[in-house]
Structure 1
Amino acid sequence: MKTILNLLFLSVVSIAFGQNSIKGVVTDADMGDGLPYVNIYFPQLEKGTTTDENGQFSINNLPSGTYTLVYSFVGYETKSFNLVIPTAKKIELTLKSSAIEMEAVIISTPFHKLQSENVMKVERQTIKELKASGAVTLGEGLSNIAGVEGVSTGLGITKPVIRGLSSNRVLVYTQGVRLENQQFGDEHGLGLSDAGVESVEVIKGPASLLYGSDALGGVLYINPERFARDNAENADFGGTYFSNTQGYNTGAGYKASGEAFKVLFRGSVTEHSDYKTADYRVTNTRFKEQDFKAGVGYQNTNFKTDFRYNVNHSKLGIPEEIGEQSTNRMPLLPYQELNNHIFSSRSTVFFNNSKLEFNLGYIYNDRKEFEDEHDHDHEGHDEDDHLEEDHGEMHPALHMKLKTANYDVKYHLPVMGKFETIVGVQGMNQVNTNYGEEELVPDAVTNDFGFLAMSHIHFNKVDFQIGARYDNRWIQIDNNLNKSFNSFNGAFGLKTDLAQNITARLNLASGFRAPNLAELTSDGVHHGTNRYEVGNINLNNEQNFQTDLALEFKNEHIEFFVNGFYNHINDYIFLSPDGTFLMDQPVYNYIQDDAALYGGEIGLHFHPHPLDWLHYESSFETVTGKLDSNNYLPLIPANSFSNSIRVEFDIKEVTNSYAFVKLQSVFKQGNISAFETKTDGYNLLSAGFGGNVKLFKNDLAITVSGTNLTDKTYINHLSRLKQDGIYNMGRNFSLGLTYSL
Structure 2
Amino acid sequence: MKLSYFLSVFLLLLCVSAIAAAQPTTGTIRGQLKAGTQPLELATVTLPGTTFGASTDAQGRYELQGVPAGSHTVAFTSLGYQLQKRQITLAAGQTLELNAQLTAVPTSLADVVVTGVSRATEIRKSPVPIVVLSKREVNLNSNGNLIDAAVKGVPGLSAVTTGPNISKPFIRGLGYNRVLTLYNGLRQEGQQWGDEHGIEIDQYDIERIEVVKGPASLIYGSDAVAGVINMLPRLPNGPAGQLQGDVLSEYQTNNRLLGNSVGLHYNQRGWQYAARGSYRLAQAYQNALEGRVYGTAFQELNLTAMAGVEKQGGATHLTATLYDNRQEIPDGSRDSLSRQFTRQIAEGPQDDIKHRPLVPTADLSTYRINALHQRIQHYRLLSRSRLKLGSGEVQALLGVQQNVRREYNHPTAPAQAGLAVALNTYTYDLRYAAPTWLGLETTFGLNGMHQTNHNRAATDFPIPDYSLTDVGGYVYAKKTFGKLDLSGGVRYDTRLLQWADFYVGADSTTGFDRQLSATEANGGAPQFAAFRTRYQGVSASVGATYNLSERMLLRANVARGYRAPNITEVGSNGLDPGAHIVYLGNRSFQPEFSLQQDVGLSAYLPDAEVGVSVFNNAINNYIYQARLNDANGQPVVVVPGNATYQYQQGRARLYGAEVTVNLHPKTLPALAFNNSLATVTGLNKEVSLLETNGAAAKYLPFIPPLRTRSEVRLTSQRAWGRLTNTYVRAVLDYNAPQNRFYAVDDTETRTAGYALVGMGAGTGFLGGPDQREVLQLFVQLDNALNTTYQSHLNRLKYFEYYAASPNGRRGIYNQGRNLSLKVIVPF
TM-score normalized by structure 2? 0.81
Q: Residue 483 of structure 2 aligns to which amino acid in structure 1? A: K
Over 3 Å counting, the alpha-carbon distance change for 1:63 and 1:472 in structure 2 is farther
Is 2:675 the partner of 1:618? yes
Over 3 Å counting, the alpha-carbon distance change for 1:722 and 1:313 in structure 2 is same
Q: Is the 8 A contact 2:160 2:168 kept in 1?
A: yes
1:636 corresponding residue in structure 2: 703
* Higher mean C-alpha displacement, 396-405 vs 98-107: 98-107
Q: Residue 81 of structure 2 aligns to which amino acid in structure 1? A: Y
Instruction: Select 1:446's aligned residue among 468, 493, 500.
Output: 468
Q: Is the 8 A contact 1:76 1:102 kept in 2?
A: no
Matches within 5 A, 1:127-146: 127-144=135-152, 145-146=154-155
Over 3 Å counting, the alpha-carbon distance change for 1:227 and 1:55 in structure 2 is closer
Structure-1 separation of matches of 2:398 and 2:757: 44
Q: Is the 8 A contact 1:242 1:735 kept in 2?
A: yes
Over 3 Å counting, the alpha-carbon distance change for 1:372 and 1:464 in structure 2 is same
How far the C-alpha of 1:238 sits from its partner, in A, is: 2.3
Matches within 5 A, 1:548-563: 548-563=598-613
Structure-2 separation of matches of 1:243 and 1:534: 41
Structure-1 separation of matches of 2:795 and 2:74: 46
Matches within 5 A, 1:84-233: 93-98=100-105, 104-108=111-115, 109-144=117-152, 145-229=154-238, 231=240, 232-233=242-243
How far the C-alpha of 1:61 sits from its partner, in A, is: 5.0
Any idea what SS the aligned residue of 2:22 has? coil
1:678 corresponding residue in structure 2: 750
* Higher mean C-alpha displacement, 449-458 vs 315-324: 315-324
Any idea what SS the aligned residue of 1:721 has? helix
Over 3 Å counting, the alpha-carbon distance change for 1:399 and 1:413 in structure 2 is same
Over 3 Å counting, the alpha-carbon distance change for 1:165 and 1:63 in structure 2 is farther
Over 3 Å counting, the alpha-carbon distance change for 1:635 and 1:68 in structure 2 is farther
How far the C-alpha of 1:122 sits from its partner, in A, is: 0.8
Instruction: Select 1:646's aligned residue among 713, 718, 727.
Output: 713
Q: Residue 372 of structure 1 aligns to which amino acid in structure 2? A: H
Instruction: Select 2:725's aligned residue among 656, 660, 682.
Output: 656
How far the C-alpha of 1:82 sits from its partner, in A, is: 6.8
Structure-2 separation of matches of 1:86 and 1:569: 55
Over 3 Å counting, the alpha-carbon distance change for 1:192 and 1:681 in structure 2 is same
Structure-1 separation of matches of 2:814 and 2:706: 18
Instruction: Select 1:506's aligned residue among 528, 537, 556.
Output: 556
Any idea what SS the aligned residue of 2:795 has? coil
* Higher mean C-alpha displacement, 486-495 vs 82-91: 82-91
Q: Residue 136 of structure 1 aligns to which amino acid in structure 2? A: G
Instruction: Select 1:317's aligned residue among 312, 320, 328.
Output: 328
C-alpha deviations, 1:675-708, integer Å up to 9, x for none?
2101000000001011111356661111111000
Is 2:259 the partner of 1:249? yes
Structure-2 separation of matches of 1:534 and 1:686: 43
C-alpha deviations, 1:294-331, integer Å up to 9, x for none?
10011111021100111010001111123324211222
Any idea what SS the aligned residue of 2:119 has? coil
How far the C-alpha of 1:582 sits from its partner, in A, is: 2.5
How far the C-alpha of 1:16 sits from its partner, in A, is: 2.3
Structure-2 separation of matches of 1:572 and 1:473: 18
More helix by share: 2
1:463 corresponding residue in structure 2: 485
Q: Residue 492 of structure 2 aligns to which amino acid in structure 1? A: Y
How far the C-alpha of 1:657 sits from its partner, in A, is: 1.2
C-alpha deviations, 1:131-171, integer Å up to 9, x for none?
31222221321221211111111112111111111111111
TM-score normalized by structure 1? 0.91
Any idea what SS the aligned residue of 2:740 has? coil
Structure-1 separation of matches of 2:60 and 2:603: 35
Any idea what SS the aligned residue of 2:365 has? coil
Q: Is the 8 A contact 1:175 1:308 kept in 2?
A: no
Structure-2 separation of matches of 1:35 and 1:731: 38
Structure-1 separation of matches of 2:175 and 2:80: 38
* Higher mean C-alpha displacement, 89-98 vs 555-564: 89-98
1:378 corresponding residue in structure 2: none
1:388 corresponding residue in structure 2: none
C-alpha deviations, 1:249-277, integer Å up to 9, x for none?
01111111001211111001100000010
Q: Residue 320 of structure 2 aligns to which amino acid in structure 1? A: Y
Over 3 Å counting, the alpha-carbon distance change for 1:75 and 1:451 in structure 2 is closer
Is 2:574 the partner of 1:524? yes
Over 3 Å counting, the alpha-carbon distance change for 1:528 and 1:671 in structure 2 is farther
* Higher mean C-alpha displacement, 115-124 vs 444-453: 115-124
Q: Is the 8 A contact 2:54 2:237 kept in 1?
A: no
How far the C-alpha of 1:654 sits from its partner, in A, is: 0.7
Structure-2 separation of matches of 1:612 and 1:598: 37
Q: Is the 8 A contact 1:703 1:735 kept in 2?
A: yes
Any idea what SS the aligned residue of 2:204 has? coil
Over 3 Å counting, the alpha-carbon distance change for 1:668 and 1:62 in structure 2 is same
Q: Residue 263 of structure 1 aligns to which amino acid in structure 2? A: Y
2:373 corresponding residue in structure 1: 335
Any idea what SS the aligned residue of 1:634 has? coil
Matches within 5 A, 1:387-426: 394-426=415-447
Q: Residue 317 of structure 1 aligns to which amino acid in structure 2? A: E
2:808 corresponding residue in structure 1: none
Any idea what SS the aligned residue of 2:540 has? strand
Over 3 Å counting, the alpha-carbon distance change for 1:75 and 1:571 in structure 2 is closer
2:525 corresponding residue in structure 1: none
1:732 corresponding residue in structure 2: 818
Q: Is the 8 A contact 2:41 2:60 kept in 1?
A: yes
Structure-1 separation of matches of 2:89 and 2:616: 40
Instruction: Select 2:248's aligned residue among 238, 243, 248.
Output: 238
Instruction: Select 2:315's aligned residue among 304, 322, 340.
Output: 304
Over 3 Å counting, the alpha-carbon distance change for 1:556 and 1:251 in structure 2 is same
Any idea what SS the aligned residue of 2:203 has? coil
Any idea what SS the aligned residue of 2:629 has? strand
Structure-2 separation of matches of 1:18 and 1:419: 33
Instruction: Select 1:73's aligned residue among 69, 78, 103.
Output: 78
Structure-2 separation of matches of 1:434 and 1:58: 50
C-alpha deviations, 1:364-406, integer Å up to 9, x for none?
10100000345xxxxxxxxxxxxxxxx77x1211100000000
Any idea what SS the aligned residue of 1:181 has? coil
Q: Residue 119 of structure 1 aligns to which amino acid in structure 2? A: P
1:431 corresponding residue in structure 2: 452
C-alpha deviations, 1:454-487, integer Å up to 9, x for none?
1121222011111111111001122642110001
Structure-1 separation of matches of 2:440 and 2:790: 50
2:398 corresponding residue in structure 1: 360
2:784 corresponding residue in structure 1: 709
Is 2:735 the partner of 1:666? yes
Output the aligned Cα RMSD. 2.8
Any idea what SS the aligned residue of 1:582 has? coil
**How many residues matched?**
713
Instruction: Select 1:574's aligned residue among 608, 617, 624.
Output: 624
Is 2:542 the partner of 1:492? yes
Structure-2 separation of matches of 1:90 and 1:262: 24
Q: Is the 8 A contact 1:228 1:234 kept in 2?
A: no
Q: List gaps (5 residues or longer) in structure 1.
A: 1-7, 375-390
C-alpha deviations, 1:3-51, integer Å up to 9, x for none?
xxxxx99xx86742896979786665755x8878753312212334567
Q: Is the 8 A contact 2:410 2:418 kept in 1?
A: no
How far the C-alpha of 1:69 sits from its partner, in A, is: 3.6
More strand by share: 1
Structure-1 separation of matches of 2:814 and 2:476: 44
* Higher mean C-alpha displacement, 340-349 vs 227-236: 227-236
Q: Is the 8 A contact 2:248 2:825 kept in 1?
A: yes
Any idea what SS the aligned residue of 1:143 has? helix
C-alpha deviations, 1:543-562, integer Å up to 9, x for none?
11111111111123210110
How far the C-alpha of 1:589 sits from its partner, in A, is: 2.1
Any idea what SS the aligned residue of 2:438 has? coil
Structure-2 separation of matches of 1:729 and 1:154: 8
